[in-house]
C-alpha cells in the first residue's frame, strides 16, 4: 500500500461537487460506511401479481443492510382489465426505460415483466418469490465503492472506472385505493417508492463530494454509484439518506 502520510489533500471545487486528489488515507477511512445490498423492484399497481412483491419489499425495507426501491413502470397504465384500466400514480416512462436497459444487459432482451427484482444491478429474478429474492440478496457481493451521506452532502470513495452518481428521491410509504385494472377494489401499500432519479454527475477519482438536493416531508432519498458500462451498468456503491 502506498504511504500518503506526507501528502496534503489537493481540493478542486466545481459547482455542486468537490474532487479530492492525492487525499490522505485518513480521508478514505472517514467515509467508511456499513455495506448495503441494493434491491430494486419493478412493479405496477395494475399488475395483479405485484402486491405480494411490494409486501415483500416493504418487509425488506426494514433491514439496515438493504436499500430497497420500488420503480413503478408505465406499460400497464393503458391496459384494460375487466372493462377498466388504472394509471399508476407513481409510474414513469423513465423507470420503464431503466428496466428495459437492465433486461438488455442481464437477459439479452428489452422485453420486460412485472414484478421483477434486480439485485445490485447484476442479477434478476421474480419479485414476488420470497425464496428467490432471499437467495439473490444472500448471494450478493459487497459493493466495492464506499458512499457516505452526511450534512446534506455525499462522499464517494475511490473508484477505478468512470461512474455515474444518481440521486434517488423516495416516498417513504404509500396507501392507494385502486379503482381500475387488475387490482380494482384493492388497497395497496408500499415503501420506498421512487419519485425521481437525477444524475448528480460522473466521476473517476480518489474522493468526490456532491451537494444533495432537499426532499419534502414524507420523503427520503438514496445515492447510487453506477457503472457507465452499457445503458445501465452494475451498482458499485450506495447509501441511504437519514
User: Can you tell me the distance from the alpha carbon of 70 to that of 137, in angstroms, rounded to the nearest whole number?
Assistant: 16
Report how far residue 124's alpha carbon sits from residue 116's, in angstroms, rounded to the nearest whole number: 7
pLDDT tens for each residue of 75-86: 999 999 999 999
Q: What is the mean pLDDT of the chain?
A: 88
Q: Give 189-202 pLDDT, tens digit per residue.
A: 999 999 999 999 99
Question: Would the pLDDT of 25 be above 70?
Answer: no
* Average pLDDT over every residue of 66-79: 98
How does pLDDT run across 50-61, given as a tens digit for each residue? 999 999 999 999
Grid look-up 489537493 returns 10
Give me 122's grid cell: 447484476
- Secondary structure letter of residue 18 according to DSSP: E
Tens digit of each residue's pLDDT (9 = 90 or more) over 171-189 = 999 999 999 999 999 999 9
Among 94, 52, 48, smallest CA distance to 71 is for 94
In the block, cell 426501491 appears at: 69
For the full predicted model, state whether its pTM sits above 0.85. Answer: yes
Amino acid at each position: 500500500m502506498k504511504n500518503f502520510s506526507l501528502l496534503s489533500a489537493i481540493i478542486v471545487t466545481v459547482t455542486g461537487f468537490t474532487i479530492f486528489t492525492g487525499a490522505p488515507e485518513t480521508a478514505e477511512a472517514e467515509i467508511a460506511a456499513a455495506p448495503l445490498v441494493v434491491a430494486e423492484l419493478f412493479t405496477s399497481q395494475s399488475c395483479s401479481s405485484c402486491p405480494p412483491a411490494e409486501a415483500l419489499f416493504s418487509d425488506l425495507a426494514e433491514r439496515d443492510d438493504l436499500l430497497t426501491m420500488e420503480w413503478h413502470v408505465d406499460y400497464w397504465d393503458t391496459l384494460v382489465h375487466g372493462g377498466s384500466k388504472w394509471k399508476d400514480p407513481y409510474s414513469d416512462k423513465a423507470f420503464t426505460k431503466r428496466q428495459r436497459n437492465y433486461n438488455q444487459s442481464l437477459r439479452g432482451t428489452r422485453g420486460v415483466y412485472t414484478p421483477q427484482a434486480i439485485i445490485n444491478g447484476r442479477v434478476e429474478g421474480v419479485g414476488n418469490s420470497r425464496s428467490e429474492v432471499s437467495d439473490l440478496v444472500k448471494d450478493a457481493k459487497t459493493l466495492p465503492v464506499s458512499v457516505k451521506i452526511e450534512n446534506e452532502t455525499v462522499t464517494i470513495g475511490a473508484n477505478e472506472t468512470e461512474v455515474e452518481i444518481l440521486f434517488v428521491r423516495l416516498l417513504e410509504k404509500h396507501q392507494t385505493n385502486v379503482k381500475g385494472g387488475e387490482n380494482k377494489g384493492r388497497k395497496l401499500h408500499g415503501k420506498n417508492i421512487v419519485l425521481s432519479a437525477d444524475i448528480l454527475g460522473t466521476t473517476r477519482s480518489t474522493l468526490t463530494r456532491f451537494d444533495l438536493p432537499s426532499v419534502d416531508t414524507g420523503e427520503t432519498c438514496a445515492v447510487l454509484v453506477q457503472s457507465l458500462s452499457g445503458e445501465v451498468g452494475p451498482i458499485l456503491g450506495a447509501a441511504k439518506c437519514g
